[in-house]
Amino acid sequence: MGLLEKEKEKEKERGKNKENNGGEFWWDQADIETMGMEELEMYIDALDKLRKNVTARMAMDNPSSGFRGLQ
C-alpha cells in the first residue's frame, strides 16, 4: 500500500471516529465544571501529553521548518 493510500485510510478512520463521538473531540466533550480535583489533574496531564505528541509530530513531519514546539 502506497503512502497516499495509507493517508486516505487514516483519514477514513478519523472520519468514522468523529462520527461515533457526535463530531466532537475528546477534549471538547469534557465538562470541567463538574470534575473533581483528581479528574482535572488527569485532564490537564492528558492535554499536556497531546500537546507534546503534536509538537513531536510536527517536528518529525517537517524537520527543515525549524519548528521547536509550542510555547
pLDDT digit string, tens, across residues 9-23: 777 776 666 566 676
Q: Which residues of the chain have pLDDT under 70?
A: 1, 14-21, 23, 65-71
Residues 59 and 69 sit within 8 Å (Cβ to Cβ): yes
Q: What is the pTM of this model?
A: 0.54
Share above pLDDT 70 across residues of the chain, in percent, rounded to a whole number: 73
CA–CA separation, 59 and 11 (whole Å):
21
Predicted local confidence at residue 68, as pLDDT? 62
Counting beta carbons within 10 angstroms of the beta carbon of residue 4, is it exposed (0 to 12), middle (13 to 18) or buried (19 or more)?
exposed
